[in-house]
Structures are given as structure tokens and as C-alpha cells.
Structure 1
Amino acid sequence: MATLPPKTESFAVAVVGAGAAGLSLALALAREGVPTALVGRHAPVADGRTVALLDGSVRFLDALGVWAAIAPHASPLAELHIVDDTGSLFRPPPARFVATEIGLDAFGWNVESARLVESLRAAARAAANLTLFEEDAAGFAAGADAATITLAGGGALSARLVAGADGARSRLREASGIRPRSWAYPQSAITTILAHTRPHRDVSTEFHTRQGPFTLVPLPGGHRSSLVWVMGEGPAKRLAALDDDALARAVEHQAQAMLGSMRIDGPRGLVPMRGLSVPSPVAARLALIGEAAHVFPPIGAQGLNLGLRDAAALRDAVMRAVEDGRDPGSHAALAGFARGRRLDARLRTTAVDALNRSLLTGLLPVDALRGLGLLAMTTIGPLRRVVMREGVLPRLGAPSLMR
């Protein structure tokens, strides 16, 4: 192991990355009494994005003591409607999924990303057993007994385990030698927040178009929704260049005026559609979570929820190691985490990728399969309930704080 600077602090776990996944993991460990460091700048989040926190994620945040601060600013997702707007010959009727059918008041809750992250940051700043280093990590090196993180400001710290939550361009992933597979889609997503004259009634509506999904997700108050509009890169750039009034009219037209007149009521973003996966989320003294381990299009509310499951699962792995007196950064301690997260990420990535590509192809056999699948979920009750439950939280291997 490299020689450390004389004032290096030592921790059981160091989390690198101060987004929602990294913050939640750091809080989860600190609340268990694990000496934890959180490394990362607390940058602003303001591009019009929201996150639909599914039921398991809400349970996790509640266990961390932060849901009470978030809940007043979140809207329940009581129903999901899917409308095939591809113009296909095999277009099925609109599908309706209702949370009460699987014993839930809501599939999840939609909240602005900035509100979620700021609530987690406030809890992190007040948490015992958690030391914040509000700067970037400049380097990572794994040793026999601990890993070393060098900081952009010149300092360093050591930890038995490092959790890489530093995003799609993860420096820790690169330094560890994990080689990701990455790909791009010929699409971008316009994100913003809308006000509308008709109430959303806690219904999230997803139109499947030939360029990608167009999704309206409820926000509090009954007359505000968030938008994720996936389309070709060229059309997305042209729409993003419109003024607010013209963009609102385009959204209203695409939504078939189902929510009445619309206006832009928040910041706007333009997000390129990318994908990324890793052969394994672990390396020597390192575990990757969130977008450091997987990236896929914002379809089906799976991205951040998968990252929060990573965090909750890594918390479980660390606590098992601590309770058994084992090294939390050892290969044995992380083996189960790696297996479970590979499977979960692979299933979600494959499903989202297949749906997105099926919309783009325009091939009749692919349209037929997609339409038959949606029709089957609509008409076969047991299948529909299984799909809804798995979409909210995988029943096999669910982290303890999400059950």
C-alpha cells in the first residue's frame, strides 16, 4: 500500500459521489454506527428532472429518516396508463395499471430531483458517524488492507471499502480497471415541469411513440406534471430551442390535450440517451453503485430506483460483514452483493433497452410482439399483478430496508 500523507483519516467505508445514491448509502451506514466518509461536491440539481420513487425506495428513504421531509413535496402515482401512439397495425388498446390491485396506495411518489438531493444533503450534514469531504476525489488505489482516496485539494483518506457513486464517467471505475460497455441511442430527452388546466388525478401517462416514450408524471397540487419526452436527437434540439410558449403548445399537442392547456413551469433540460453496463460492480476494495455501474434511458422509472437498491444492498453486505467480524472490503464480503446487483441490473437494462429499441424499429413482427405483450398484461390479471410487483421492487433478494 502506498505511503499516506501524515494527516490521513481512516474510515470503515468511504462513499465517493454526493448524488442521491451516494448520499443514501452514506446515511444508511452512518445510522448503523459505521464510521463513514462522504467525498464529493454538492453541486446544484436544476434541469427540470424529477424522479418517480417506487415503493421500495420510499421505504428505504423512510428508514433513513428523510422521507418525512420529502413527502409533502411528492405526488402519489396511483395509476399508470400506457398508450400506444406508434401508428402500428398491431396497436393494442390503452393499458391501465392500478396500485390498489397489488395492495399499495401508490406505485411510488414523484418528486423533483433537486428536492430529493437537498433533503438527503441536509440529513448527511447532521448525521453522526459521517464525515463530509466536499471536494472531488482525484485518485483511488487499492491496497491489501485498505484503499486510499486522494482528494482534489491535496489531502487523502483511507477506508476498508470504497463505494463508487461518482456517476457515468466514474474515475474510480476507471482507476480500478473495470471496463464498462457503453452505447448510445439516436435520441435525446427533453425534461421540464408543466402546469396544466385539467387535473392529473395522480395518474402517470406514458405514450409510446415511434421516436421513444413521451411521459407525463404527476406532481403535487393536481395541476402540475413533469415531462420526459424522448425523441430523435435532431427533433429534440429543435424543440429545445423553442421559447416556452411554443414548447408548451408542442407538448399539449403530443399529449392529445388530455391535461388541457399547458405552460412551462420549471427549468428545462436536454439529455442525450446513453447506456452503460459493467461486467461486475466490484473490484479490489471497491463496489460501484448507481450510474457508475449502470446507465439506461429514463423509461419505466427504473434508473435511480435501481441505484437506491444498489445502495441498500451494499449497506446489507457491509452490515453482514461487520456483524460476522469480517473485512467489509474483502472479496468474500462483496461476492453476494456482486451477484445480486449483476442480475438486477442486467434484467432492468435488458427490459428498458428492448422496449426502447422496439419503438424505433418499425418492424411489424416487433410491433406485434410488443402489442401482444401489453395486451396480455392488460387482460391476464395474475400476469399483470406479477409485472406490477416486479416493477415496483424485485421480490427475490430485495434489500432489508426496502421490504
Structure 2
Amino acid sequence: MKDAHQFDIAVVGAGPAGLVAGLACAASGLKTAVIGPRADAADGRVAALLNGSINVIKRLGLWETIEPVAAPLTGIRLVDATDHIFRAPEVLFDASEIDLPAFGYNVANSDLTRALEAAAETRLARITTRAVTSFESTDSGAFLTTADGETVTASLVAAADGRNSFIRRYAGIPVTDWSYPQIAVVTSFAHPRPHNGVSTELHRPSGPLTVVPGPGNTSSLVWVETPREAERLLRLDDDGFIRALNTHIAPLLGPISALAPRRSYPLSGQTAMRFGKGCVVLIGEAGHVVPPIGAQGLNLGFRDAAALAEIAAAARSGGSAIGAPETVDRYDRSRRADVASRVFAVNLLNRSLLTSFPGVNLARGAGLAALAASRTLRQQAMREGVSPSLAPLMLTAPIAAGVGKAAPGLDAPSPSRA
């Protein structure tokens, strides 16, 4: 067995949320390791990073790398495409109404993780391995062993290893699971008409169909359908799928082309009963899984990462142990309301489309009508969307100066490689 590497924080899981957690902790002066496999270079998904997540990227000094491959999200259009008698008016959320150039940016997962991996190589200890195979709590933290026989000790372990988290199970944190009778079909495509940075979400009886602006005249698609219809769409050849999609969005963007390979994801959700226990805290999908509706999943994960870095650094500066029960409890409390509110909102929207109960449809339509009619209500909704009041974090706050550069206190992070 190799000698154990010692760290303040070990992040288990090397997806975007895990890498951001590691980079933010290292930038806060904590000796940090990120443990896990390299990202899938063939991942064709696109991440919609809202303004708070972009601020984290900027504070880490990575925005200049990511901005050239990112597409701004300047507007969000909601369209009632149900067959109900009362159909709500179209609602357009415009970032300029709250004095922002964009709500956020859309970036391919592969481009995002490439930039994060490159930064991790020089700013922290990046331990590449298939998995962590054993976890043992100790008086001073945790002892981890990788599939390659490498050993790590850490005062605090951040589990960022996905919805089936190995670390979460060993920590004994239970979860609540649920599922929906829906499947999301995901792809991207080109089109002749400009999208002008506006995302369009069609609210349909089987679920939302969302077109997200990409670089140039390209867009990404999240098409939520019944399992039977999703399976039919996946069996179609490219021409057949394009014809089916054009029936919904051709008036919006014109005939589509250059269809990327399609993927599908059954819609389900999961939340942990706690977001920390012992010397373990949960990051990203280890703590919460939400359907790909409303761009909530990864943005919640970035806020987890920001909260971890701020709370752990505050514990260190205040003379407390990073893995002390009060530090872990503070992290748990800090994430509960934010996660619960986002899970509730996504669940409410999705189930309101699936129900045939007239009262629910009328309430949803009335809410959209109120947003369409009131600039004040739209502004409140937009501000809450980009800067949740339940998660006030320094790392996600706007940067007054030096846009694209690391903010004071986060510039020139000290490498903490083993």
C-alpha cells in the first residue's frame, strides 16, 4: 500500500460539480484533492449555467477560457402548448429587465469539464482513478482507498460521485426517490433563423419541450415525452426525427439540420435526507437529482460547491476543525432550503402539465398570465432565479470589477498537489 496523501478536503467525484468544489476549496487556501475518472469526452449534453454559476467561474479565473465556447441566454420564453380551454399568454423573461446582459450562458459539458480539468491539474491534487473502493471514518476525518491502491486521508470528504454515491451510502445518509412517467430525449441541431439568445419552452401535456440557444445558429433540445412516444422518436431515422420536431418548432427557427446523436434519460428525482453527516458532505447529484427542467441541477451543484468552500474556509479561519460536526451541520443547514425550494418548483411545474384536473391547469395558466401582465412580478421571478435569496453566497455574487478574472482572495490559488 502506498503512503497516504493528507488533505484538508477530498472531493470524491470529478464531474463539473466536483471539479468546481475542488477548485473553490483550493482557491480558499485549503489543501484539496479531487478523486475520480476523467470526464467523458463524448458527453454531448449542454449545461445552462445561470448567472450565479458564471460568477463562480469568473471568481476562479476561468471565464476567459470558457466564454469563447459559451452562448449567452438573454431571454426565456414560456409558451402554453396545452390543449386546455384556457391557455395562458406567452411569457418572455428578458435579462435586460433586471439590468443583466444575460441570465447565464450555455456551454457544452465537454468544453466545461475540459477547462475545469486543465485548471485542476495545476491548482490541486488531481487523483485519477476509476473509483474509491473503501471509506473509513477516523478520529481526524476519513481514510480512502482508490481502485488503484492509492490512499488518501482528509479532514472532510465531499461526496460528488453521483446519484448512486458510494460515499453517501458509507456515511449512512438515506435518500428519497421518485419518478415520472416521462423520458427526456436530448440532442442538438442547426437552424437557419437566429435564436437571438432566447430559450423557448413549450409547455405540453406530456411535458416541456425546451430549445436552448447554442453558439451561432445552433440550439440544444430537451424534449420530454411519454415513454412510448420517446421510444418511437428514438427509433426514427434522422430525417424522421427532424420532421417530427419541425412540427413543433419550424415556425420558430426554420427547418432544422445537422442533428447530433440523440440520447434519452428517464425523468426521476432524488434528495438526500441530510446534506452532511460525520465527516461527509454531499455535492451535486450525490445530494439531489432533479429532472432536466428549468436548468436547476448543475446550478444547484455549483452552489453546493460555493457553500462548501466558504463554510470550510470560515471554519479554518475561526479556529474550528474543517471536519468538525458543527462545520458539517452548518453546511447541511445552508443547503436545505435552497435545494428543497428548487425541487418543489420543478416538481410542481412538471406535474401540473401531467394532470388533467382543471383547477391545476387554471392555476398554472393564471400564474403565467400574471407574469405576462406584470413587469414587477417578472423582475422578482427573474432575480430569484439568478440569485436565490435562500442561498446568499459570496462566490455566486456579482463581481464589481475585473470581470473574467479571479476576485480578491481567490486569485493565484496556491497549488496543493500531493
Q: Pick from 26, 33, 43 the counterpart of residue 29 of structure 2.
A: 33
One-letter amino acid of the structure 1 residue matched with residue 3 of structure 2: K
Q: Which moved more, 1:26-35 or 1:353-362?
A: 26-35
C-alpha displacement at 1:248, in angstroms? 1.5
**Distance in 1 (alpha carbons) for counterparts of 2:133 and 2:86:** 53
**Distance in 1 (alpha carbons) for counterparts of 2:39 and 2:109:** 12
C-alpha displacement at 1:274, in angstroms? 1.1
> Where does residue 154 of structure 1 map in the other structure?
149
Contact 1:53 1:109 in 2 (8 A): yes
> Where does residue 189 of structure 1 map in the other structure?
184
Aligned residues: 397
> Where does residue 230 of structure 2 map in the other structure?
236
Q: Which moved more, 1:130-139 or 1:65-74?
A: 130-139
C-alpha displacement at 1:35, in angstroms? 1.0
**Distance in 2 (alpha carbons) for counterparts of 1:85 and 1:313:** 38
Q: Deviations over 1:178-223 (max 9, x none)?
A: 11011111111111111011111111100001111100011111x1
Matching of residues 292-307 of structure 1 within 5 Å: 292-307=286-301
Contact 1:47 1:268 in 2 (8 A): no
C-alpha displacement at 1:238, in angstroms? 1.3
Q: Which moved more, 1:35-44 or 1:250-259?
A: 250-259
Q: Which moved more, 1:238-247 or 1:259-268?
A: 259-268
One-letter amino acid of the structure 2 residue matched with residue 168 of structure 1: R
Q: Partner of 2:222: helix, strand, or coil? A: strand
Matching of residues 4-403 of structure 1 within 5 Å: 7-127=3-123, 129-221=124-216, 223-403=217-397
Q: Partner of 1:72: helix, strand, or coil? A: helix
Q: Deviations over 1:111-168 (max 9, x none)?
A: 11111111111111122x4342333111222222111112112232110000000001
Instruction: Give aligned-pair identity as a percent.
Output: 44
**Distance in 2 (alpha carbons) for counterparts of 1:378 and 1:334:** 42
**Distance in 2 (alpha carbons) for counterparts of 1:243 and 1:45:** 25
Contact 2:80 2:202 in 1 (8 A): yes
**Distance in 2 (alpha carbons) for counterparts of 1:189 and 1:341:** 27
TM-score normalised by L of structure 1 = 0.96
Q: Which moved more, 1:188-197 or 1:137-146?
A: 137-146
Q: Partner of 1:258: helix, strand, or coil? A: helix
**Distance in 2 (alpha carbons) for counterparts of 1:130 and 1:154:** 16
Contact 1:244 1:263 in 2 (8 A): no
**Distance in 2 (alpha carbons) for counterparts of 1:58 and 1:195:** 25
C-alpha displacement at 1:371, in angstroms? 0.4
Q: Deviations over 1:52-84 (max 9, x none)?
A: 110010000111121211111111111111001
Q: Which moved more, 1:237-246 or 1:13-22?
A: 237-246
C-alpha displacement at 1:43, in angstroms? 3.3
**Distance in 2 (alpha carbons) for counterparts of 1:45 and 1:35:** 28
**Distance in 1 (alpha carbons) for counterparts of 2:326 and 2:28:** 21
One-letter amino acid of the structure 1 residue matched with residue 139 of structure 2: A
**Distance in 2 (alpha carbons) for counterparts of 1:46 and 1:208:** 30
One-letter amino acid of the structure 2 residue matched with residue 327 of structure 1: A
C-alpha displacement at 1:234, in angstroms? 1.4
One-letter amino acid of the structure 2 residue matched with residue 316 of structure 1: E
One-letter amino acid of the structure 2 residue matched with residue 177 of structure 1: G
**Distance in 2 (alpha carbons) for counterparts of 1:201 and 1:6:** 55
C-alpha displacement at 1:388, in angstroms? 0.6
Q: Partner of 1:400: helix, strand, or coil? A: coil
**Distance in 2 (alpha carbons) for counterparts of 1:52 and 1:333:** 30
**Distance in 2 (alpha carbons) for counterparts of 1:173 and 1:194:** 37
1:247–1:35 CA distance, 2 compared to 1 (3 A): same
Contact 1:24 1:120 in 2 (8 A): yes
TM-score normalised by L of structure 2 = 0.92
Q: Which moved more, 1:131-140 or 1:247-256?
A: 131-140
**Distance in 2 (alpha carbons) for counterparts of 1:77 and 1:118:** 21
Q: Partner of 1:27: helix, strand, or coil? A: helix
- Segments of 5+ residues of structure 2 without an aligned counterpart are 398-418
